[in-house]
Structure 1
Amino acid sequence: MDQTEKLRIRQEKLAKWKKQKLNNDVTASVSVDAKEERLKKLEAWKKKKKQQDELKQKDIKLTSIKSADRDRNKRRGQCSRKRPAFGGSDSESDDENSTSTLFKPRRNDTNTHVLTKDNSKDDLDDGNDALDEYIHKLIDKDSNTNRVRLIDNISEDEDANDSSSEKTISQEEAPVDSEILFKKKGRKKIKAIDYSKVLNLITLNKCLYREPNDLGLMSEKDVEELRLSLDNIKISGKDCPKPVTKWSQLGLSSEIMDLISNELQFVTLTPIQCQAIPAIMSGRDVIGISKTGSGKTVAFLLPLVRQIKAQPPLAPDETGPIGLILTPTRELAVQIQEEALKFCKGSGISSICCVGGSELKQQINELKRGVDIIVATPGRFIDLMTLNSGHLLSPTRISFVVMDEADRLFDLGFGPQVNQIMGCIRPDKQCVLFSATFPSKLKHFASRTLKNPIQITINSKSLINENIQQRVQIFDEEHVKFEFLLKRLSDRLALHRGEDEKTIIFVGSQQLCDLLYDELLLNGITTFPIHAGKPSAERLRNLQKFKETDNGILICTEVLSRGLNVPEVSLVIIYNAAKTIAQYVHTVGRTGRGTNNGVALSFVMVDELASAYILVKCMKENELSSVPMVVYQKLKEMNDEFSSGLKTGKYRLIQGFGGKGLDHLDELNEAKQSQEYTDYGVVENEEDVTEEESGATKMEYTRGKREEGHSTTYFAHININDLPQLARWEATKTETVSNIKQETGCNFESKGSFYPEGKGPKNDTDDPKLYLIVEGAEESDVTMALELLNTKVKEGIRKAAVKDIQSGKYRM
């Protein structure tokens, strides 16, 4: 190969390198210093190459001279002793060594080699010369840089567990590691499924809840107050089912009811369970926002088990699952699995927990046999979905997906994995999402994935306006409470003299309102009393005087606990502690209006346990910590006692029907009069009540119980056909039935037909006389319902008597 050919080859290599360099260096610009450095290296290489070429020419000439001398010596037959060509050696080996020594390069010339005839030929034929090595070195350097960048981009898509433990990748490791990451990325991608082409796809029946009759009779206002009493449940979404208050209202099977009542001993539902379970059983996508430990696990396990039972079982060639529960941590997955096994026991439903770090082979064996529920972390579930080229698990049967602690799923970086999982599941799935918070990432995911979801927020600590500071004082005796009130008002009037800091005192009855007004007036404190027993003109006049008087003090009953807006009110004193959460919230809300601040002070007697329970539930942590230690300890004892009584059924939070303000003024007055007659043992309007009406005062009913598997239902049949018309209306009107249902949890249903006096069914085929059926899970609930209903019947009979008197029926 001549010099011209070699130069042409090198020029082609150089042009090829420049082209490759241009393609590889798209994103990075070469600096001026780097260019100068490369030019210097290139000039140094050219100079060095020129020296090497000159040296090679000399080596060729010397080699040819040496070969001629050897041939000449051989022909002369000089075998015993050879004359050295350049002296200094007695042997052939010494001759060769002397030749090498003669042409040994300088020590600082590291690229110069000792050349013989053989190695000079190798050098000429070798394609990897110095230019090739230099070009490959530059290419490798740029390639390693690009690979490291590529690996960095890949690592950003990995989940948080992998990225947190990932180490810096060196240039030497980059090519190998990038291949591993690429393979890993490709291996963990779930195959997309076109469900429009899937044959024999099972039709889902997601609506498995029927609203009980008693809930159907509740008005919107009653539902609103019930949600308020259940830790201030907030609903976002259309057509949300009404909350339940009893396990029996969910229509669960006898096995599940036995498990809940006897084994798990769940007496009452938590607020999130009251609203979330009927919403999920109705087939809706649900977002539940509630703190940890609020009973969310049961809230989604019960509907999940019920939906699995409503579907056809897994075929022999199906691995499942039907339900999928995704969690951010292994510990939470194990905890949910333990609860799931309790509900699956004896039902034929199988459940498995699949998390990283556990035995994969055993999980695969169980999955091959088919499972109904999988509780897994996102990474492990993707591993299972991609095993055996995606043939181990099939997502076509997944119809119920739960994401527990969804906010942590996205905080820990599992967003891409969750999106990938949700993308391979059938589009008509039901999705339930529970979280303690609702960050923006979760909102975006829910808007893309969930269909018309219902958002349920449990936030008991935000029942009260942030502008209101809640305080409490506990008393042993009534006179001590009044003396405390008197001192508090006197000090307040002296402190705010010349200002306008108004006060409202809420009391429990009209009599106490008048009594408190008189007692305060005797002690030099002028107040303005308002209650339903006063004429309308007097109420309006006192209210106007209260608004116009600086530091005015208003004493009133619950009549004004709703709707009153006086911005100057900075103190609300609840003299008789509230008995319901709704009453407390509305009463406290009379202060702290708009941007103003206010104080709500509750007076609690030691025997008012329900009031202590309400205060602990509504007061914020900093407010409870600011309470004096003696008061706080007593309040805590009362709250604990009431909480225990709630679980055993000894106490109930909602009692009675509560006041309805001025809309029922006549009813309140009549009830007051009736109570006074009862207290003094006087027979009310004895001369005005006929013998027929007296006999109808006693409500007639029969009681019994019905066994259904492991559960028992208690019932009563009440004859309402023969009651006076007003009494019948009073007992069966929607408001009465709704309030009794809310109080007792019993179901009501009317049957039969109304027959006028003296008439009845003629044969067995005719409808029986009109009667009311009361059913409950406990005998005590039915007894209480009968007592409350009997009170209403008596009230209706008394109204009928009053009406007859007013009409002149019994006048002389």
Structure 2
Amino acid sequence: MAALLGAEAAASSSSSSLSSGVKKEEGDGDQMDVDEPAAAPAAAGAKVEEEDEEEDELEAFMKGVQKQVRTVDKADAVKLGIKKAPEVLEAAEPGEDEVDEEEDELAKVGMSAADILALAAKKVKKGRELAVPDHKNIDYLPFRKAFYTAPPEVEQLSQAEVDALRLELDDIKIRGAEPPKPATKWSYFGLPAACIDVIKALEYAAPTSIQAQAIPAVMSGRDIIGVAKTGSGKTMAFILPMFRHIKDQPPLRPLDGPVAMIMTPTRELATQIYKECKPFLKALGLRASCAYGGMPLKDNIADMKRGSEVIVCTPGRMIELLTTNSGRLINLQRVTYLVLDEADRMFDMGFEPQVMKILGQIRPDRQTVLFSATFPRQMEALARKVLRRPLEITVGGRSVVADTITQVVEVRPEESKFNRTLELLGQLFNDESDARALIFVERQESADKLFVDLQNKNYTCMPLHGGREQVDRDQTIVDFKNGSCPIVIATSVAARGLDVKQLKLVVQYDVPNHMEDYVHRAGRTGRAGNTGTCVTFITPDQERYAVDILKALTASKAPVPPELEAMAQAFADKVKAGKAQAAGSGFGGKGLDRLDNERDAASRAERAAYGETAKDDKKKDGAGGDDGDEGEQAAKKVADLEVQIHRGPAPNLEKGKMIPSAASTTTPAPAAPAVDSKAAEAAAKKAEQEALAAGKSAGVAGAASVIAKFNAMLKAKQSGHAAPVTDHSTEAARRRDPDATDYHAIVWINDYPQKARWKVTNKDTMVHLVDSTGASITNKGIFYEAGKEPGPNDLPKLHLLIESNEEFRVQHAIAEIKKALIEGATMALEAEQRQQAGGGGGAAIGRYSVI
């Protein structure tokens, strides 16, 4: 006990006794290096001495081991030709490496708003990255894929009878080893009795062609590629086997993820599939979730916490769910049945990275089913990367419009399309008042303009495109289906999977740019055996799209107008002569790279509009590149100041006072003169006009303007050297103000996001900063919106003033403020992403954490 008391006394002794281990003071009986008995009872002293000796032996042994390890590592490095052997690191606490890496990043980043926001964006992106699991080390539950046993009526069919039946069922073509025979009755599939009851209640008389062949194939455990024309019942072909698959597996445990996942490219298609599943879910006692961008994330989080056997989702929202709360919200270890509906679009270059990330989270021995109305050959190689021994089932040929749809293609000038649309709508509603019409356009602006034009003609209609809020898009579809809004003007966002029974007319107001889009647009009508009409407008100058339209008409054996055939032939001749380039299929784009390039181009255009030049532009400008460099550097000096610690008292930044330089705080210097801003602006404008008159580009003219303004301000400063001298030295400041400090720094926080400013200036943070650093920190100035600058007699922009008599305290305060700014900026970016995910201008979305 005495030894322990002695140790406490040693720990609480003065700093001098801690810094010299060999000196002895009163009460220092239990020092680390025991050279003589302590002034404590003999037994206790001997015991402590033995413990210390044992610890010393252990330390000596570990040092010897580490020395041997270093020797072996050096020898291995010499053999392998490595210049520097890896160092032996001591055991670190969990997360210590991450903390060190974070501190290194913090030390490297500057204090400018751009640097802080860039690091915050990096942290947000890092938090949203998906870690690829090691499937070999995960103990997955075993599951069964094959449930189908052909009934005697099907098993007894000969090969000739099977071929005749497939020909009768819309000419089914099948590729792959050992395909099952098609079944033409619901009772042949071995579905649960509850499913059969729901099918009878929905009055589905018999399986369609794709269902007759695909359901036996899927229930046999095979991966398939199903290609069938629109309205042929593809959704039922994959959800019925899915329910049998789920019912064979053990029930979900707490925190288990879904068993089946259905992924679609559009929100509307996801909603439609979810609604088609509902009758079966209720009968089978299962749960499903529908997750897509635009709906509140909190609803999806609540569904995931409750648990769902089925999830219908879009790729973007699924990645968001997988990265929420560091991946603890949802796991895909139970997913054994995966459906990619409209698979061609899922494997378009824009979607492929997202889809492959999600597939990497799912066990490799899953069953994968791909369905679509079109499936170009160039997509097949991509699709087969995720399939095992697939069967390819094609019904009615690839990229074919159903024969229940009357196709009309009209070649007409742009100005006559609106009147022709009014004529078609008049005929439709005169013949059938309860009909629906869907008009497709290429751009959101075109949809809004046509909406206004039709409303002016007293037609009840609504636009449907990606620029509208998700709640408005959902309501438009509901109104379209119930008849309160019989006309919808849409972009291709509605071309995939939209199913409205009374839809009798599709008008392709703007011609689609590839064949697959034409097929999907036309397929919105004439579904499930109903008839419909598709009218497509093409202008004489759009001959490059005539080839694909001609292919679609020929494939579906529809009449081809002579004008279209002549346009297609003329364009084909131009392509052969090398005067034109053939239109793409719509599936060969660069996807995410293309979007990045478009954003960069938009950013360069915006910088040019504000008189700044990007690095790429400077390289292209050639002779004007040097001027651009000088102008950019001058602008950077003014707008992107780094935080520096100055010796001397803090400057007076009241109204009309200028910021003294670093030199002026140590030696007497003249006060900065007032600069004539009007004269500087006039010089800048004159330089810009001269550059434009000389034939220079807008970027070079902008740079010349910045340089002229900078030079005018510099001359004004130089001309004011004769002004009265004001002493800014520390000694003079102390005479004026006894509380003046030896060091100060200013951190400008005006240009950071609101959450970052709030984070660093709220009371709790300020108290913590002062307590932890020992420096004086004061919030000064007022907030100015972007683009506004304080005038000569205005208060300065919002900033933090750090003051202390010790330089290290100011440095510590700057580092802590930097951390708070990064944390606040990260919060702002995350909030913005949650707001976008929640549909933009809706109600505020709460933050959830799953424990």
Question: Which TM-score applies when normalising by structure 1?
Answer: 0.35
Greater relative CO (CA pairs within 8 A, separation 6+): 2
Question: Which TM-score applies when normalising by structure 2?
Answer: 0.34
